[in-house]
């Protein structure tokens, strides 16, 4: 049987050490002295540096509890009860575990026994006081941070796009333009990896002079500072790790400094990044517009974006495709494979068909207004050209203009009149059904020629595309699940 040892537990949070100076070294010296003076030759130190006492999720505490359950611990000693925990519920749980495994507890500054009813009562009262003290410390820290933040005194390390001027964040003109360019790329469908590659290729570096990665791009464009919102107390140090606090502990100040992006742009960016993170890792950096969105209509698994290679003569040809992921990995589904360009065009057409009842009146009104403005401009231009042509004929008849100059100017004005007639016909066609269909075809062609824009549209509007293509069939059917449904 393993010989049991005395557990010496020490803990200090960053706020407590700064406020009281009760350091780990002082605690350790007191506990080692206690072990030696009370005749415990075997003891082991359990140290949680920079961890709050509001929960038991601490590395050394978890190791201590595991040793207690394993029967390796004879007793637990701390300098004060609040070193163990500042939660009444957690203290009651620890007392039950210690009593269950025959482990005693001692506090070098507070004398009581948890094995007796009176000792447990005293311990419970002390734990209530410790929890109250923790809440008071948290309130004071939050109030002080908020007051300092409102005065603009907390800015330390500026994010990319900013610099410190008299202790306040001020946009850096050289970096701010790259922030706007990166936001534009992300909002038009580029992935964080695409933005990182673009920045690295153009010689743009991070604040620390390193290359950009998809992670640093996501971190930058998730920072509310870009929208003029300063956030402090967002992260904390636990040992050697930096972790994020609960949002209720953040200190946020609106309008603390000049914004690089508008609030609407920042919210759109954050939504786009969150939707990308919801995709599978395989699809997050894909350039195919439907990667991570298209799913097999038969088995429900993701459709993989890939290539089909064919050989014609001595040349190899590649065409983009989507195919059922379960079929690719040998899961037993049908070979649900479709041409990527055809599927993307089909989804755009289906999306326009779904939203046409709501979209057509707005678009028709806009197009009618645009057509009337265009028509008035063209008619004015045509009247000016006719008047100039008339004056030119009079000048030629009077001998003021030579025949060569007359011919040259006449040809130019006739070309202007021909262009005006064509523009009038196009403006008149905008309000007709054929004009609407032509506009839809132009929109589809533009989206097909810009995969980034098409992916941005799908990520914003479409939650899922279910693809059905029966075996040996050329017909493809899709079922769209929109985010607004």
Average pLDDT of 427-436?
55
Element housing 337 (H / E) = strand 337-339
Q: Confidence class of residue 67 from pLDDT cuts 50, 70 and 90?
A: very high
**DSSP of 394-438:** HHHHTTSS-HHHHHHHHHHHHHHHHHHHHHHHHHHHTTSHHHHHH
127 is annotated as an active-site residue: no
**Collapsed DSSP state (helix, strand, coil) of residue 148:** helix
Average pLDDT of 362-391?
72
State pLDDT tens for residues 225-253: 888 887 776 666 555 566 676 767 666 77
Distance CA 159, CA 278 (A): 26
Nearest of 262, 268, 260 to residue 186 by alpha carbon: 268
Q: Which pLDDT belongs to residue 46?
A: 92
Distance CA 24, CA 15 (A): 13
Q: Confidence class of residue 9 from pLDDT cuts 50, 70 and 90?
A: very high
- Residue 433 clears pLDDT 60, i.e. is over it: no
- H-only helix segments in 151-213: 173-187, 192-201
Domain ranges of the chain: 5-150, 162-278, 294-339, 343-482
Tell me the CA end-to-end span of the chain in Å, nearest whole number: 64
- Residue 119 clears pLDDT 80, i.e. is over it: no
- Residue 377 clears pLDDT 90, i.e. is over it: no
Contact status, residue 43 vs residue 8, Cβ threshold 8 Å: yes
**Collapsed DSSP state (helix, strand, coil) of residue 226:** helix
Contact status, residue 294 vs residue 346, Cβ threshold 8 Å: no
Q: Confidence class of residue 337 from pLDDT cuts 50, 70 and 90?
A: confident
Average pLDDT of 349-361?
69
Q: What's the CATH fold of domain 5-150?
A: Rossmann fold (3.40.50)
- Residue 179 clears pLDDT 90, i.e. is over it: yes
Q: Which pLDDT belongs to residue 21?
A: 46
Length of the chain: 485
State pLDDT tens for residues 13-57: 765 554 444 678 888 888 888 888 888 889 999 998 878 777 788
Q: What is the CATH number of domain 162-278?
A: 3.90.1750.20
Phi and psi (nearest 5°) for 290?
A: -105, 10
User: How far is the CA of 183 from the CAs of 2, 193, 199, 200, 369, in angstroms?
Assistant: 61, 13, 12, 16, 32
Rg (CA), the chain: 36
Average pLDDT of 274-281?
75
Sheet of strand 73-78, all strands in order from the earlier edge strand to the far edge: 43-49, 5-12, 73-78, 104-107
- Residue 485 clears pLDDT 90, i.e. is over it: no
Average pLDDT of 177-203?
87
For residue 208, the 8-state DSSP code is T
Phi and psi (nearest 5°) for 478?
A: -130, 150
Contact status, residue 309 vs residue 318, Cβ threshold 8 Å: yes
CB-CB neighbours of 27 under 10 Å: 22
State pLDDT tens for residues 436-479: 566 566 666 666 667 777 777 777 778 888 888 877 677 888 88
Percent of the chain with pLDDT over 90: 6
- Residue 178 clears pLDDT 90, i.e. is over it: yes
Contact status, residue 305 vs residue 340, Cβ threshold 8 Å: yes
Q: Confidence class of residue 8 from pLDDT cuts 50, 70 and 90?
A: very high
Average pLDDT of 395-403?
82
- Residue 340 clears pLDDT 90, i.e. is over it: no
| pTM more than 0.75 | no
Average pLDDT, the chain: 77
For residue 325, the 8-state DSSP code is H
Percent of the chain with pLDDT over 70: 73
Q: Which pLDDT belongs to residue 19?
A: 44
**333 or 431, which is more confident?**
333
Contact status, residue 180 vs residue 265, Cβ threshold 8 Å: no
């Amino acid at each position: 049987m393993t010989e049991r040892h005395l557990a010496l537990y020490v803990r200090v949070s960053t706020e407590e050490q700064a406020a009281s100076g009760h350091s780990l070294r002082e605690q350790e010296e007191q506990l080692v002295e206690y072990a030696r003076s009370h005749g415990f030759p075997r003891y082991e130190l359990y140290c949680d540096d920079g961890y709050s006492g509001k929960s038991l999720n601490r590395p050394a505490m978890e190791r201590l509890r595991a040793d207690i359950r394993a029967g390796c611990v004879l007793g637990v000693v701390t300098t004060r009860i609040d070193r163990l925990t500042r939660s009444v519920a957690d203290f009651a749980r620890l007392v039950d575990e210690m009593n269950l495994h025959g482990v005693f507890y001692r506090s070098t500054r507070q004398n009581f026994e948890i094995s007796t009813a009176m000792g447990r009562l005293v311990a419970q009262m002390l734990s209530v006081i410790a929890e109250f003290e923790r809440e008071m410390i948290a309130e004071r820290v939050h109030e002080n941070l908020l007051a300092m933040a409102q005065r603009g005194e907390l800015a330390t390390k500026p994010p990319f796009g900013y610099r410190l001027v008299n202790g306040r964040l001020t946009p850096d003109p050289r970096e701010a333009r790259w922030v706007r360019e990166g936001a534009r790329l992300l909002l038009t469908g580029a992935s964080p990896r695409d933005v990182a590659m673009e920045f690295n290729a153009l010689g743009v570096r991070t604040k620390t002079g390193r290359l950009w990665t998809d992670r640093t791009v996501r971190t930058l464009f998730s920072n509310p500072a870009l929208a003029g919102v300063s956030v402090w107390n967002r992260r904390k140090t636990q040992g050697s790790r930096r972790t994020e606090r609960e949002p209720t502990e953040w200190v946020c100040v609106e309008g603390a400094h000049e914004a690089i992006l508008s609030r609407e742009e920042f919210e759109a960016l954050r939504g786009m990044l969150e939707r990308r993170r919801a995709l599978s890792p395989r699809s997050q950096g894909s350039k195919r517009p439907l990667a991570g969105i298209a799913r097999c209509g038969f088995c429900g698994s993701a459709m993989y974006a890939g290539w089909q290679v064919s050989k014609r003569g001595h040349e190899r040809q590649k065409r983009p495709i989507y195919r059922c992921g379960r079929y690719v990995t040998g899961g037993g589904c049908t070979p649900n494979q479709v041409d990527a360009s055809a599927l993307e065009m089909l989804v755009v057409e289906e999306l326009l068909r779904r939203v046409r009842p709501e979209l057509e009146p707005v678009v028709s009104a806009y197009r009618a207004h645009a057509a009337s403005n265009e028509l008035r401009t063209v008619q004015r231009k045509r009247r000016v050209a006719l008047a100039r042509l008339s004056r030119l004929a009079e000048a030629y008849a009077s001998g003021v203009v030579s025949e060569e100059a007359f011919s040259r100017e006449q040809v130019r004005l006739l070309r202007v009149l021909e262009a005006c007639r064509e523009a009038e016909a196009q403006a008149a066609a905008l309000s007709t059904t054929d004009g609407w269909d032509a506009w839809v075809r132009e929109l589809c062609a533009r989206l097909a020629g810009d995969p980034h824009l098409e992916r941005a549209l799908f990520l914003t509007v479409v939650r899922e595309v279910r693809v059905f293509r029966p075996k040996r069939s050329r017909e493809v059917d899709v079922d769209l699940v929109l985010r607004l449904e």
